[in-house]
Amino acid sequence: MSRTIPYSADRDDLFYPCKRAEFFQSGAPSSDAVLCVELARLAYCRLSESFGLDRDRIRKVLGKVGFTGCHFFESPRTTNGRGVHAFIALRQDLSVVSFRGTDKDDPSDLGDDIDLRLIPWSKGGRVHCGFSGALGQLFPEIQNALQDVTGRLLFTGHSLGAAMATLLASLQPSAALYTFGCPRVGDEAFVSTLFGVAHSRYVDCCDLVARVPPRCFGYADLGPPLYIDREGKVHQDPPEDFITTDRIIAAGEYLEQYAWRIGDVSVRELADHAPVNYVYAVRQG
Per-residue pLDDT of the chain (285 residues; tens, 9 = 90+): 556 789 999 999 999 999 889 999 878 899 999 999 999 999 999 876 566 778 999 999 999 999 999 999 988 755 555 678 999 999 989 999 999 998 877 666 555 566 789 999 999 999 999 999 999 999 999 999 998 888 899 999 999 999 999 999 999 988 899 999 999 999 999 999 999 999 999 999 999 999 999 999 999 999 999 999 999 999 999 999 999 999 999 999 999 999 999 999 999 999 999 999 999 999 987
Nearest-angstrom CA–CA distance, 100 and 98: 7
Measured CA distances, 266 to 160, 243, 259 (Å): 22, 21, 5
Predicted local confidence at residue 229, as pLDDT: 97
Which one, of 89, 254, 60, lies nearest residue 157 by Cα?
89
Contact 80, 50 (CB under 8 A): yes
Q: Does residue 4 fall inside a structural domain?
A: no
Q: Does residue 2 fall inside a structural domain?
A: no
Q: pTM for this structure?
A: 0.94
Q: Does residue 247 fall inside a structural domain?
A: yes
Predicted local confidence at residue 27, as pLDDT: 81
Phi, psi of 166, deg, nearest 5: -65, -45
Grouping H, G, I as helix, E, B as strand and the rest as coil, residue 120 is strand
Q: Going by C-beta distance under 8 Å and a sequence separation of 6 or more, which residues neighbour residue 170?
A: 121, 123, 190, 193, 194, 197
Environment class of residue 214 by beta-carbon count within 10 Å: exposed (0-12), middle (13-18) or buried (19+)?
Answer: exposed
- Strand-pairing partners, residue 71, are 88
Contact 202, 225 (CB under 8 A): yes
DSSP state of 106: -
Contact 123, 185 (CB under 8 A): no
Amino acid at position 263, single letter: G
Pair type for strands 85-90 and 94-99: antiparallel
Nearest-angstrom CA–CA distance, 264 and 252: 15
Domain CATH for 34: 3.40.50
**Element counts in the chain: helices (H) and strands (E):** 10, 10
Q: Does residue 110 fall inside a structural domain?
A: yes
Predicted local confidence at residue 266, as pLDDT: 94
DSSP state of 184: P
Which one, of 128, 127, 50, 135, lies nearest residue 85 by Cα?
135
Predicted local confidence at residue 80, as pLDDT: 54
Q: Which domain holds residue 136?
A: 11-284
Environment class of residue 4 by beta-carbon count within 10 Å: exposed (0-12), middle (13-18) or buried (19+)?
Answer: exposed
Predicted local confidence at residue 51, as pLDDT: 67
Q: Does residue 235 fall inside a structural domain?
A: yes
Total domains in the fold of the chain: 1
Predicted local confidence at residue 238, as pLDDT: 96
